[in-house]
C-alpha cells in the first residue's frame, strides 16, 4: 500500500498524500501527539482554549501537543512531551503520567495517532498560556461543573473538542481504567 503513495502537496508541518486514491494528511517533523487529562488537587479539570483557524473559532480542548518536534529532542518520549506540554500550556506539572488511550484522531482524514495521558500528582509551577506563538486561555473548572461550563462556552460561540468529554470518563471516579 505504501508503494503507491503520492505526495500531492506539502507545507511546513503537514503534507497531503494519496494512497490508492485515498487522500489524507500526514504530520511532518513530529514523532507523536499527546493529549493530557489533568485534575488539580482541588478537583478542577484543566482545559485550554485557543483560536483554531481551521474551524474559525475558539476551541475548548485538553492540553495537548507534539512530541519530537523540537530540534534538540527529536527522540523525546511521549510521556516527557506530555509533561512538557502540560507545564507550557497550563502552568501545572505532574509527578506521574499514565497512558490511558492510544488511537487515531480522525482516521478518514489524517494518519495522526494520539496518545492520551492522565496526569497525577499535580503542582502549580507557572502561569501557563503556551509559548510565544500561542494565545492560550487556561480554564480550571471544578470537575462536577465541567458539563455546564462547556455548554456556556458553546453558547458564547466557542467549539468544544469532543475529547474533553472523554476526559470526564478517564478522570472521573475510578479513573475510567486504562485502555493502554
Question: Are the C-beta atoms of residues 47 and 153 closer than 8 Å to each other?
Answer: no
* Percent of the chain as helix, strand, coil, to the nearest 5: 25, 45, 30
Q: Greatest CA span in the chain, whole angstroms?
A: 53
User: Reduced to 3 states, what is the DSSP secondary structure of residue 161?
Assistant: coil
Verify whether residue 132 is a known catalytic residue. Answer: yes
Checking 19-23 for CB contacts under 8 A at 24+ apart, the result is: none
Residue recorded with cell 485515498: 22
Options 132, 134, 140, 154, the catalytic residue: 132
Active-site residue set? 132
Amino acid at each position: 500500500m505504501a508503494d503507491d503513495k503520492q505526495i500531492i502537496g506539502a507545507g511546513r508541518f503537514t503534507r497531503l498524500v494519496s494512497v490508492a486514491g485515498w487522500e489524507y494528511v500526514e504530520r511532518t517533523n513530529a514523532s507523536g501527539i499527546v493529549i493530557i487529562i489533568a485534575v488539580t488537587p482541588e478537583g478542577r479539570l484543566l482545559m485550554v482554549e485557543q483560536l483554531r483557524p481551521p474551524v474559525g473559532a475558539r476551541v475548548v480542548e485538553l492540553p495537548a501537543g507534539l512530541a519530537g518536534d523540537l530540534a534538540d529532542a527529536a527522540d523525546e518520549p511521549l510521556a516527557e512531551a506530555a509533561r512538557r506540554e502540560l507545564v507550557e500550556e497550563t502552568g501545572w506539572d505532574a509527578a506521574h503520567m499514565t497512558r490511558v488511550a492510544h488511537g487515531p484522531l480522525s482516521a478518514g482524514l489524517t494518519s495522526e495517532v494520539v496518545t492520551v495521558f492522565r496526569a497525577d500528582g499535580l503542582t502549580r509551577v507557572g502561569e501557563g498560556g503556551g509559548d510565544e506563538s500561542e494565545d492560550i486561555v487556561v480554564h480550571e473548572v471544578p470537575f462536577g461543573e465541567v458539563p455546564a461550563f462547556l455548554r456556556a462556552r458553546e453558547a458564547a460561540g466557542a467549539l468544544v473538542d469532543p475529547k474533553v468529554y472523554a476526559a470526564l470518563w478517564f478522570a472521573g471516579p475510578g479513573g475510567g481504567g486504562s485502555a493502554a
